Amino acid sequence: MNRSFWRGRRVFLTGHTGFKGGWLGLWLADAGAEVHGFALAPPTEPNLFIVADVAARLASSTIADIRDAQTLTRAMQAARPEIVLHLAAQPLVRASYDAPVETYATNVMGTVNLLEAVRHTPGVKAVVNVTSDKCYENREWAWPPYRENEALGGADPYSSSKACSELVTAAWRASFLAAAGIPLASARAGNVLGGGDWAADRLIPDFLRALDAGRTLAVRSPGAVRPWQHVLEPLDGYLRLAERLYEEGQAFAEAWNFGPDEDDARPVRWIVAHLCGQVSNAAWQCDTAPRPHEAGTLRLDSSKARSRLGWHPRWNLETALAKTLEWHRAWRRGEDMTAFSLAEIHGFEAAEGAR
């Protein structure tokens, strides 16, 4: 992430009240960008947006719904962004079974609304649509990892909606934005973790909630393999990608994976066993209750981002988990979490080349 590039740059960031969006808003503002956020109210209580006082760092914060096309377009036009980063989404697999219509409306039509707003906002020079590693047609193979040219699909509404968002991205690129000189890329990250995530039905937040309450963690799928990574890893990739889109244009207007090293695609049982070894009074057991389908194995091939963007993971999985526990403990102690989060960002930047 090139701080000098972002200094004074006008950025429109959707999803800034969420976990990933909150971290990205903090990072961009700290680099000197003029960040205009657009999102629903924070989805959990507590949440990173409030705990780290993200709004105080931004140029503006609009609390609204990306399904509201008129409000979204007005907000974007008022912000006059050079770069648009689209993170707003319904982000949970399990929630998509409970609210499939809302999931598709947000993740598919929300993307349509966002790209239409870009079309009607002068001055946009680069757009990154953040989708998901789950956009691939999952064949449950252990090897090889998924590359950007693999088939899209999804057995659950969330995964399918993110595959649809990828198709929308490709259609708007080919039909409208390329001709208008606006490079548009999509980004697919692994399972992110880090401080400030209180989402339901995510492994690390569930572990920390159980730990704080003195309960045994119930784990749904201990054998499931995921590409785990600290939240700052893919955010660094999104920023590098946006820089190259702005500076070099259509050559980078395509899909990109941002996943961890091969060794960090681990089963859930390894994660919880490692965490239980780091803290006292933590325990877990297998949850045998019936549950909807979730993918068993998922790995990403990020060789394109490594070779063409110069991006690479900086913190291995053990470090990412340690940083997550440190952040949570600092929050429990009542520390200034804006300062703590910014110090973590600076430490991550300083780790460049350490691996």
> Nearest Cα to 169, choosing from 252, 120, 237, 112?
112
Domain ranges of the chain: 3-197+228-262+298-316
At 197-234, the pLDDT tens digits run 999 989 999 999 999 999 999 998 899 999 999 999 99
Rounded to a whole number of angstroms, the distance between the first and last alpha carbons of the chain is 17
Give the span between the Cα atoms of 181 and 194, in whole angstroms: 36
At 89-143, the pLDDT tens digits run 999 998 999 999 999 999 999 999 999 999 999 999 999 999 999 999 988 776 7
pLDDT in tens, the chain (355 residues): 899 999 999 999 999 999 999 999 999 999 999 999 999 999 999 999 999 999 999 999 999 999 999 999 999 999 999 999 999 999 999 899 999 999 999 999 999 999 999 999 999 999 999 999 999 998 877 678 999 999 999 999 999 999 999 999 999 999 999 999 999 999 999 899 999 999 998 999 999 999 999 999 999 889 999 999 999 999 999 999 999 999 999 999 999 999 999 999 999 999 999 999 999 888 999 887 777 777 778 889 999 999 999 999 999 999 999 999 999 999 999 999 999 999 999 999 999 754 3
Q: 59 in helix, strand or coil?
A: coil
How many C-beta neighbours within 10 Å does residue 40 have? Answer: 17
Check residue 220 and give its pLDDT.
84
> Nearest Cα to 82, choosing from 113, 118, 115?
118
- Residue 51: phi and psi, rounded to 5, are -60, -40
Give the span between the Cα atoms of 104 and 107, in whole angstroms: 5
Check if the beta carbon of residue 93 is closer than 8 Å to that of residue 138: no
Tokens found for residue 258: 């941002």
- Residue 271: phi and psi, rounded to 5, are -60, -50
Peptide bond before residue 205 is cis, with ω within 30 degrees of 0 = no
Check if the beta carbon of residue 109 is closer than 8 Å to that of residue 161: no
> Nearest Cα to 306, choosing from 254, 237, 217, 211?
237
CATH topology of domain 3-197+228-262+298-316: Rossmann fold (3.40.50)
Q: 193 in helix, strand or coil?
A: strand
